[in-house]
Amino acid sequence: MTETIVVKIGSSSLTSEEGGLNRERIAFFARELAALHESGRQVLLVTSGAVAAGFRKIGYAARPKIVHEKQAAAAVGQALLMQAYQEAFASYGADGGIGVAQILLTRADFSNRRRIQNAQLTIEELLKQRMVPIINENDTVATDELKFGDNDTLSALVGNMVKARRLVIITDMDGLYTEDPRKNPAARRIERVDQISDDILSIAGGAGSSVGTGGMRSKIEAARIAMRGGIPAFIGRVVEPGDLMLAVDGNGRGTYFDTSLHNLPMKKQWLGFHSMPQGRILVDEGAERALLLGGKSLLPAGIRAIEGDFHPGDVVEVCNLRGETLGRGVVNYAAWQAQAAAGLSSEEVRRRVEVVRMEVIHRDEWVTLKA
């Protein structure tokens, strides 16, 4: 079976500190991606850089902070970015070079099951035709700022969607360190991570570059999404010829995030990562163990509190009493029914509350998000 590799490149790797595209870097990454493509793999590129590429061209002195100015810069920069990629990939392969295709997505696309299935079919056809899909957020229409951060989350969602063999997130650091190596020369690089714990998140830091929006924290969060979907991830540097191939083959300059989980089916992916929860249910320790370790459904007896106004068929988030997210599920109760049934035994619920099913969330409509 042909391997599919998703590669994410951020703004700081593609543009100068002052803004504008760095054509030499784009040519370098095109060469690295072309080598993967010519090895027989299917390659998808998730790219940032539209805003950084466009803000100088549009006349702004610095990267804009107001949403409509960002969107205007992205509208200009997106065309410049795709033109640069098209020209760079034209030097490789036969018959005029490796073809590229632009796909712009928003968070709303992932929240709508039909739209994301259509996007999946489009990507599969492009890969079948040996094209390189180049994916970015549709910054010109996105609301609530540019919501995917530096496209780290987007790359993980795309990796899960196409059931990638590996997600490669390229950054200016050669992996995750125990401390910031720029401040402490004794900091040690973490070679492999099997589980993203609170300790791993706490050392991830948060600062990005002046032209990008992401930091190591957003990359670790992306790796967690990929791992939960059964996709191993790599976060590190690609600076010399052959580095990307080494990263894909397991010998890269960075940190590997391994997973023993299997690919989630599309329905579970949508439920866990794309759906928009309409409320929260807080559960006790017994229900937490049943959901995470026992493979059980959520029953009313384990519920301690209800937040939000949801209805049967809505997606809700389930948290423990410490506020930690355990997972998401499709709820069978309205919020008022769940509130009325909270803490009651099944027999008490039958006597007091009229419900169609006893399970508040059936295990078949549940996805765990906590390790």
* Annotated domain spans of the chain: 4-267, 277-368
Q: Which amino acid is at 368?
A: T
In the structure encoding, which two tokens stand for residue 24, read together? Answer: 């030499």
Q: Rounded to an integer, what distance in angstroms lies between the CA atom of residue 286 and that of residue 303?
A: 10
Is position 48 annotated in a ligand binding site?
yes
Is position 151 annotated in a ligand binding site?
yes
Question: What pLDDT is attached to residue 144?
Answer: 57
- Where helices occur in the chain by DSSP H, the ranges are 11-14, 23-38, 50-58, 67-89, 107-111, 113-128, 152-161, 198-202, 216-228, 243-249, 266-269, 285-292, 335-341, 346-352
Q: How many CB atoms lie within 10 A of CB 145?
A: 12
* pLDDT tens for each residue of 163-176: 999 999 999 889 99
Phi-psi group of 212: left, alpha or beta (phi > 0 → left; psi -120 to 50 → alpha; rest → beta): beta
**CATH class of residue range 277-368:** mainly beta
Question: What pLDDT is attached to residue 210?
Answer: 40
Secondary structure class of 229 (helix, strand, coil): coil
Q: Which amino acid is at 44?
A: L
Is position 114 annotated in a ligand binding site?
no
Question: What pLDDT is attached to residue 212?
Answer: 39
85, 134 contact by CB (below 8 A): yes
Question: What pLDDT is attached to residue 109?
Answer: 84
Q: Which CATH architecture has domain 4-267?
A: 3-Layer(aba) Sandwich (3.40)
Is position 215 annotated in a ligand binding site?
yes
Is position 194 annotated in a ligand binding site?
no
Question: What pLDDT is attached to residue 12?
Answer: 84
Is position 111 annotated in a ligand binding site?
no
Q: Rounded to an integer, what distance in angstroms lies between the CA atom of residue 299 and that of residue 113?
A: 27
Is position 91 annotated in a ligand binding site?
no
Is position 218 annotated in a ligand binding site?
yes
Q: How many CB atoms lie within 10 A of CB 174?
A: 18
Secondary structure class of 318 (helix, strand, coil): strand
| Residues in the chain where the model's pLDDT stays below 70 | 1, 142-150, 205-214, 371
Question: What pLDDT is attached to residue 143?
Answer: 58
Task: Indicate if 277-368 has the same CATH topology as 4-267.
Answer: no
Question: What pLDDT is attached to residue 88?
Answer: 96
Is position 139 annotated in a ligand binding site?
yes
